[in-house]
Amino acid sequence: MDSDDRILKKVVGRALSGKGAHAAASHVFSGLDAKAAGARPGNVPHSLFQVLNHIAYWQDWVIKWLDGEKPRVPKHASGSWPGSPAPANAAEWQKSVRHFQAGLKELERRASQADLLTGTGKQSRLEMLHAIASHNSYHLGQAVVLRQMLGKWPPPSGGVTW
């Protein structure tokens, strides 16, 4: 592996994990109960549960794309906001958190092993991984603000609080 490839893989991995930029992406939803996950403080448009499922939806989409599939893009934005505003119970919430974390780990693994400059169609793997890292970062920021509004920040692992 040449130094340029190593640098690209490091940059993409850090973008996906949040390392060096914000709280660890894999920890943003940790330590919440199902009730807090379904709350919409101040009448915000989406609950933490919805934000989590939206992030996971697009992570799954990108993984399919990386596998060479041609996943369908929803006709409307609402198609990528699956599920109800609140989890039915604690088990559903925890399952969703684990699904998000597993998808994130899979994207990080693929970013570290793939030839980032090849791809499908008009986009390289690098471009697609950059897009999902940016998308995740945007919505993880929303999740942090929602947690702050609920008085549930930082997560048990700690986080940026200033």
Tell me which amino acid residue 66 is: L
Domains of the chain by start residue, with CATH: 15-149 (1.20.120.450)
Q: Could you read off the pLDDT of 70-117 as tens digits, one per residue?
A: 999 999 999 999 889 999 999 999 999 999 999 999 999 999 988 999
**Which is nearest to 79 in space by CA: 110, 52, 58?**
58
For the entire predicted model, the pTM comes to 0.93
Q: Bigger pLDDT: 95 or 6?
A: 95
Burial (CB < 10 A; 0-12, 13-18, 19+), residue 50, is buried
Within 10 angstroms of residue 26's Cβ, the number of other Cβ atoms is 20
